[in-house]
Amino acid sequence: MRWAQVTDTGPVRAANEDSLIVSPEIGLFAVADGMGGHQAGEVASSMALVLMERELKKRLGNGERPENALIDSVKEANRSIYELALRNPRLAGMGTTVTACLRCLNEILVAQVGDSRAYLLRDGLIVRLTEDHSLVQELVKNGGITEEQALSHPHRNVLTRALGTSPFLEVDLKRVGIKPGDLLLLCTDGLSGYLRAEEIMSTVFTSPGLEAAVQTLLLKAFQYGGTDNVTIILVEL
């Protein structure tokens, strides 16, 4: 596997509350977008990924089934973040999204909480692998608004599910078969909130390499008015 990654505070924010992790020894790629005041979002996102990687390595090493290990690792990170926020008033209300992909032979497992995303790019096409846990996604599913309207909806950042906000957490899990030449892209909404999937795809396929692709995507997010933190991982499978 080869990959490129970037995380950027952006042109407006004072701090970067996004985090990413790449752990090739276990085939883990993940992004997280934190929320909460006084740098609590930064604490939540980085803590989620560090704990998840540690727990996943332990569980896989003990022979646990990869899908169970991945889900349980996310839930363990959720529990730890929630309990820390209860103990520390400065971190009260912190939370984070997590989109994590674990490679297992000829498939990837995708664990999802929140509105960060994973896409699969193959044969000139792009497929979104995750479903946002957000208010606007519920409106789109119920026919209240279109995908186009969702991009500019005033409540597009309102999440319906996140790590750290409750002691109990439901984690979406998806299995995706892969083949040589596939590309996997993970990103926070600092990218997906400003670029449509088709533009992400065309940018990746017309770039001379993985590093050039992630840097061009980052610049486009800012050119299109993006003010949020942006985090991207692009993996050649």
Q: Is residue 209 part of a domain?
A: no
Q: Is residue 101 part of a domain?
A: yes
With helix as H, strand as E and coil as C, how does the chain read?
CEEEEEEECCCCCCCCCEEEEEECCCCEEEEEEEECCCCHHHHHHHHHHHHHHHHHHHHHHCCCCHHHHHHHHHHHHHHHHHHHHHHCHHHCCCEECEEEEEEECCEEEEEEECCCEEEEEECCEEEECCCCCEHHHHHHHCCCCCHHHHCCCCCCCCECCCECCCCCCCCEEEEEECCCCCEEEEECHHHHCCCCHHHHHHHHHHCCCHHHHHHHHHHHHHHCCCCCCEEEEEEEC
Angle at 40 between CA 70 and CA 170, to 5 degrees: 30
- Average confidence (pLDDT) over 142-147: 72
According to the model, what pLDDT value does residue 149 have? 64
Residue located via tokens 């899908």: 67
Q: Is residue 102 part of a domain?
A: yes
Q: What is the CATH number of the domain that holds 187?
A: 3.60.40.10
- Average confidence (pLDDT) over 57-75: 98
According to the model, what pLDDT value does residue 141 have? 74
- Average confidence (pLDDT) over 3-31: 96
Is 75 a residue whose pLDDT tops 90? Answer: yes
44, 34 contact by CB (below 8 A): yes
Q: Is residue 167 part of a domain?
A: yes
Dist CA 25 CA 93 (whole Å):
33
Q: Is residue 76 part of a domain?
A: yes
Nearest CA among 174, 186, 176 for reference residue 22: 186
Dist CA 146 CA 223 (whole Å):
24
Nearest CA among 164, 156, 10 for reference residue 91: 164
Range of the domain at 78: 16-193
Tokens of 202: 């065309």
Is 146 a residue whose pLDDT tops 70? Answer: no
pLDDT by residue (tens digit) across 163-179? Answer: 999 999 999 999 999 99
Confidence of residue 150 (pLDDT cuts 50, 70, 90): low
Count: domains in the chain: 1
According to the model, what pLDDT value does residue 152 have? 67
According to the model, what pLDDT value does residue 46 have? 98
Length of the chain: 237
According to the model, what pLDDT value does residue 36 have? 84
Comparing 31-40, 90-99, 114-123, 149-158, which segment has the lowest mean pLDDT? 149-158
Q: Is residue 199 part of a domain?
A: no
Which has more pLDDT, 147 or 120? Answer: 120
* Percent of the chain residues past pLDDT 70, beyond the cut: 95
Is 41 a residue whose pLDDT tops 80? Answer: yes
146, 139 contact by CB (below 8 A): no
Q: Is residue 97 part of a domain?
A: yes
- Average confidence (pLDDT) over 61-68: 97
Backbone angles phi, psi at 88, to 5 degrees: -120, 105
Report the chain's mean pLDDT, rounded to a whole number.
Answer: 94
Residue located via tokens 């899990």: 173
Confidence of residue 199 (pLDDT cuts 50, 70, 90): very high
Dist CA 148 CA 1 (whole Å):
34
